[in-house]
Structure 1
Amino acid sequence: MESKKKVKNIFIQGAISPGFITDCIAKHSSNTAIGGHSIFMGQVRQDEIGGKLVSAIAYSAFEELALEKMHEIREAIFEKYPLSCMHVHHSLGDVSAGEICLFVFTSSAHRKPAIEACSELVERIKAELPIWGKEIFQDNTHHWKENK
C-alpha cells in the first residue's frame, strides 16, 4: 500500500499523449502480482452548443488546493481498495477536440478492486477537484464548461 506518501503532481501541460499512456501501462508488465488494471481516459468532445462547434477546452485549476484534495482522495481510495498502484493525470491549458485530458489507471491483484477504484476516482475527481474548463469554439469565442 502507498499510504502516507508525498503529494503527487497530477497535472500535465496540454493533452495527455498516447505515448505517455502507453509508457505508463508498459511499466506495469514486470509486476506479476497484478492481475487486473482499469483505465479511464477522458477525451474532449466536439460538442455543438448554440450552433457552434467546440474546438478545444482550456483547463485551469486552483493547483495547490486541487493537489491537496487529490492527495486526500488518493489516501482514501488506497485505504478502501487493495490496490497495487494508482495513477491520475489531468491536463492544464488547451486540449483540442479528440485529445485526452484525463487519464486514470488503477491496478490490483484482481479486477474488481481496480475497476471499482477507478470508477470512484473519476467521479470524485470530477466532483471535488477545483478544475475548470473553458470551451473554445471554432470562431475563437468561448464559454465555461458545465461539469457533468
Structure 2
Amino acid sequence: MEKKKVKNVFVSGAISPHFIGESIAKHQSKTTIGAHDIFLGQVRADVIEGKTVAAIEYTAYEEMANKKFHEIREAAFEKFNLNCMHIYHSLGTVKAGELCLFVFVSSPHRKEVFEALQHIVEEIKVQVPIFGKELFEDESYQWKVNS
C-alpha cells in the first residue's frame, strides 16, 4: 500500500471565511458526497482574573504536529466512511473573534460526518503539540491550558 505524504496543515494568522467558502465550493463537483460537516475553532475574548484575552499567539513543533495531524487523518479514514477531510490550523497571532482551526469532513452519509468530526477534533486537542499564548489587552500574557 502506498504511503501518503504528510501535509502541512498550518496557515499563517487567522483562517478567513473566504478560504472556508472556497474549500466548500470546491466540493460541489464531487457527486459521491452526500454530507459535509465543519468545525470552526474561534478565539474567545475570555476574561481571566479580570483581564480580557485580545488574541492567542500559536506556536508548534511543526514537524511533529504535522505528523500527528496525518496520523489522526489516516486513522479517521480507517474508522469512518469518509470521502474527504481537510484540516487547517493557525500559527502566529489570531485575534479574539477570528478563526484558528478549520476541520472539514465529507462522506456519502450524514451520520458518518457527525461522528467523524467529533472524533477528529477531540483527537487534535489531545494529541497535537500546538501551544497558545493568551495575549491580554493590557499586553501581559499567559500560556493557554486546554480544557
- Equivalences for 1:1-148 in 2 at 5 Å? 4-148=3-147
When residues 144 and 120 of structure 1 are mapped into structure 2, their CA distance, relative to the original with a 3 A threshold, is same
Distance 1:5 1:81 in 2: 18
TM-aligned CA deviation for residue 115 of structure 1 = 1.2
Distance 1:38 1:14 in 2: 23
RMSD: 0.9
TM-aligned CA deviation for residue 94 of structure 1 = 0.2
How high is the sequence identity, in percent, across the aligned residues?
61
Structure 1's unaligned 5+ residue stretches are: none
Provide the secondary structure at the position in 2 that maps to 1:66: helix
Give the structure-2-normalised TM-score: 0.97
Provide the secondary structure at the position in 1 that maps to 2:74: helix
Structure 1, residues 53-96: CA drift from partner, whole Å, max 9, x if none? 00000000011101111111111110111100000000000000
Give the structure-1-normalised TM-score: 0.96
Distance 2:112 2:98 in 1: 28
TM-aligned CA deviation for residue 4 of structure 1 = 3.3
Q: Match of 1:94, as an amino acid?
A: T
Distance 1:12 1:88 in 2: 10
TM-aligned CA deviation for residue 141 of structure 1 = 0.5
Provide the secondary structure at the position in 2 that maps to 1:83: coil
Provide the secondary structure at the position in 1 that maps to 2:138: coil
Provide the secondary structure at the position in 2 that maps to 1:118: helix
Structure 2's unaligned 5+ residue stretches are: none
Provide the secondary structure at the position in 2 that maps to 1:126: helix
Note if contact 1:47-1:54 (Cα within 8 Å) is conserved in structure 2: yes
Note if contact 1:15-1:94 (Cα within 8 Å) is conserved in structure 2: yes
Structure 1, residues 35-63: CA drift from partner, whole Å, max 9, x if none? 00010000000000010100000000011
